[in-house]
Structure 1
């Protein structure tokens, strides 16, 4: 559990960093501090939040989860596989925390319908979401941070280039992670499911007996809910049903597309953004950067949304995340002014310089990938990505060694995203999924997540290492 709010911590630490600069008589001006904030990253995050906020009103995320139940026809592993596939696709293109806030309650109900171990399935969904984030430059705040960096963009990295380089490693990692998960859980996916569900009901009963509000989904299931009348025999949730058809009908009546015209408008706006991102590599579309394209797409969607009151949309945006990123940019630049990043970069350069020149490229890839993995496995991946990206840029610019920049960028991206499976607190998405599950009476412990996620992190980063060594060490793709 966090000691304090991450955004407050980031603001406090960045303020302290500026205070340290003052102690060394290096006080930056206000305009300089503002210039440290990367506007491209904030604009892209802001616009994607708007799109996801409006898209969530359509009910499409719940519908997709129920569609997976329909396609699975009551077969447990097929359902889990489809849920993981949906998570991979959504995580690659939409803001993950918001998606999980909507999908997790639906996944819980699906697990109860099929008597599956709920926490295990939620962990699987989170694991594959973290893998899917690496697919595109808009899948995760860390990839947004990397892809919108001015130095990275100056090397020709755009939406299509990013996907082309990341796609092979992501696909191989998905298959390897699925094979591992299946072999590990093939006989225990339903073990203890009934006991876990009953325990969840007892926890919720206790909370309601203490006067605490039940999850919002309970109010939706029973508008006349009265906590005083609650007992363990009262059914507020869809329990395991013996009849697949009846259960499917019940789920489809509850989770369906609520606003089809709005869904079409969202599809038009997002397709507009995808087309412009793909055209960005053409010379006459050079100005269509990720941030500007997302801004135009979000403005188009707001126009099509045609609402007199946008307060509800903007209230659902994660403003604290935008402030968190702003404080983080200031912190990293302050650390750079103090010489910390330069010192770490020199250590890395010394390691690479002591290797035979013909092996320096593969050495730089391995150092960046596994150093990033080590840090990001137990610490929130965004600050690690911010610091190590600066370090990677300094390594690439060093005159002592001649190392291409882009292979290290791909190594950093793989490491940061895949390391999200290292522990429960590696990414905000993991914490969000755990928090929502806890509201429904299911507790995902650090050990349980670590037991499944850490081996997957080792496997996927090993695959990324082999792929990068072949692509850049043997075939010199860069």
Structure 2
């Protein structure tokens, strides 16, 4: 049974990493094999907390996707992008900085994939009006989305998985992740003009056209925007008050989605258009495959190897997880990586007596996976989405063009994260 679980997972992983088969098909295929072989039964696959599908993750994403699907109908994202371009006085470098900051902040409160889907088309429009190549702007935005998404529990799918496995709350992420993300964004903003030098030449006549755009015309439904704002405020209040209200974030998201559907009067094809069904199925298949590794003891063995390698040294374990997570998340999608590593880290935390040091392992995994997603064009789902949008717009981004920029940003962000982990959890704890 162990061999079946391990081979199925490795083969699916290789197929996902090489994109020979769509990642959803690979994940579901691997899940089907372990179920058909009897490695897991239906109860273990669908209802067990340790080995089954994590429905909290699936339903949280589902609820937020519906909310964003309704919000998309208002035109608020287009409004924000045009507003930013005008506030930047048509300066390409200032437009890039503003759009990346907007993307980073939005990614923290929605999710980075959704934010890229909404911001990228507007970026293409603005760049077309300015007569400049949009690829540097798209790359900068997706890099910012992966950094900004690290700030909250819902900002990046790996964070949701970590929270589910570790018991960390929405507030925990705000307290521990948001400070370092703010620092990372400040550093990222400073290096943008250098990283993308030569990409900011524009036609003064076209700049005048951009300044003539009326952002208010982008708002398609002001009343719906107000309703969305009220519901989103209530949802985020529920997230923040999770530990006091004792209501899981998944339930909060589903309640918010249900209320918004009722009060908005939006047609089902509109709000369901925001649901990424393939992503949800991918998660489900992945959880089943990882559950098989947990049941057969593969994850426990890996955790023991990690324990032996660090010899009980918590700081060494934290730094090892940070660097390895950044490298592996950049080579393969950070979602399956974190789903695989989470049970391993959970076992590793049991060997560390100091609870602060044990929690540092989780933050190390999260930072490494989120920032490591910037390393290559396939490191994070948002990267893949951006590549698809650029290709459809006739401005394709090559794997190496992205990676040349992403690798620099990853090295810098990990270099900043390492002393943060050391100082906060070992020096001043």
Q: Do the structures match in fold with TM over 0.5?
A: yes
> Counterpart of 2:418?
465
Asked whether 1:65 is paired with 2:81, we answer yes
Asked whether 1:32 is paired with 2:44, we answer yes
Instruction: Please give the per-residue CA displacement for 1:148-191, whole angstroms capped at 9, x wherever unaligned.
Output: 33xx22xxx221221110112111111222222322334x1236
Q: TM-score, normalised by structure 2?
A: 0.90
In structure 1, distance between residues paired with 2:261 and 2:204: 41
1:316 deviates by 3.4
Query: Superposition pairs for residues 62-461 of structure 1, below 5 Å?
Result: 62-149=78-165, 152-153=166-167, 157-186=168-197, 188-190=198-200, 242=205, 244-250=207-213, 252=215, 256-282=218-244, 285=245, 287-307=246-266, 309-353=267-311, 360-398=313-351, 404-461=357-414
2:27 is aligned, of 7, 10, 13, to 10
Structure 1 gaps of 5+ residues are 194-239
The question of whether the paired residues in 2 share the 8 Å contact of 1:60 and 1:257 is answered with yes
1:310 deviates by 1.8
Instruction: Please give the per-residue CA displacement for 1:339-362, whole angstroms capped at 9, x wherever unaligned.
Output: 221121111000222x6xxxx221
Instruction: Please give the per-residue CA displacement for 1:271-320, whole angstroms capped at 9, x wherever unaligned.
Output: 001112222233xx1x122112112211221121124x423322431111
Instruction: Please give the per-residue CA displacement for 1:389-421, whole angstroms capped at 9, x wherever unaligned.
Output: 11100111238x767431111111111110111
1:242 deviates by 0.3
The question of whether the paired residues in 1 share the 8 Å contact of 2:81 and 2:119 is answered with yes
Change (3 A) 1:421 1:386: same
> How many residues are treated as equivalent by the alignment?
407
1:19 deviates by 4.8
1:435 deviates by 0.7
1:139 deviates by 0.6
CA RMSD in angstroms, aligned pairs only: 1.9
1:76 deviates by 1.6
The question of whether the paired residues in 2 share the 8 Å contact of 1:159 and 1:277 is answered with yes
> Counterpart of 1:46?
62
Instruction: Please give the per-residue CA displacement for 1:416-458, whole angstroms capped at 9, x wherever unaligned.
Output: 1101110000111111111111111101001100111111001
In structure 2, distance between residues paired with 1:243 and 1:377: 37
The question of whether the paired residues in 2 share the 8 Å contact of 1:52 and 1:95 is answered with no
Larger of the two Rg values belongs to structure: 1
In structure 2, distance between residues paired with 1:246 and 1:372: 45
The question of whether the paired residues in 2 share the 8 Å contact of 1:137 and 1:162 is answered with yes
Secondary structure, counterpart of 2:394 in structure 1:
coil
In structure 2, distance between residues paired with 1:3 and 1:277: 38
Change (3 A) 1:246 1:119: closer
Secondary structure, counterpart of 2:263 in structure 1:
helix
